Amino acid sequence: MRYILRFIAVAILLLSGSFVRGQSTNLVLTATLNLTVYIQQPTNDSSVFKTTTTQKLATKDIVAAIAADLGLSADPLTSKLLLIYNGVGDTTTNAILNAVLRTGGGDTNINGIFSLDFPSRLSVLDNLTVATERPNPNGTSQRLEYSIMSVSVTTSNLSFQTQGQVKLSESSITSGRTIVDSRAFPTTYNASITGSGTVGTNSAVFNGAFVAGSRKVEVTGP
61 three-state secondary structure: helix
- Check the CA dihedral 26-77-116-71 and report its sign: positive
Can you give the pLDDT of all 222 residues of the chain as single tens digits?
A: 444 434 333 333 344 443 344 678 999 999 999 999 999 988 665 667 788 999 999 999 999 999 999 999 989 889 999 999 999 999 889 999 999 999 999 999 999 999 999 876 665 567 788 999 999 999 999 999 999 999 999 999 999 999 999 999 999 999 888 999 999 999 999 999 999 999 999 999 999 999 999 999 998 876
5: helix, coil or strand? Answer: helix
Q: Are 211 and 188 in contact (CB under 8 A)?
A: yes
Specify the pLDDT at position 141.
Answer: 97
Single-letter amino acid, residue 34: N
Answer whether 120's CB lies under 8 Å from 211's CB: no
User: Can you list the alpha helix ranges (DSSP code H) found in 26-80?
Assistant: 59-70
Alpha helices in the chain, H assignment, sequence order: 2-14, 59-70
Q: Quick check: 160 and 195 in contact, CB under 8 A? A: yes
The domain limits of the chain are 25-220
| pTM of the full structure | 0.84
Instruction: Tell which residue, 187, 181, 150, 142, has the closest CA to residue 166.
Output: 150
64 phi, psi to nearest 5 deg = -65, -40
d(CA 204, CA 161): 11
Q: What DSSP designation does 42 have?
A: P
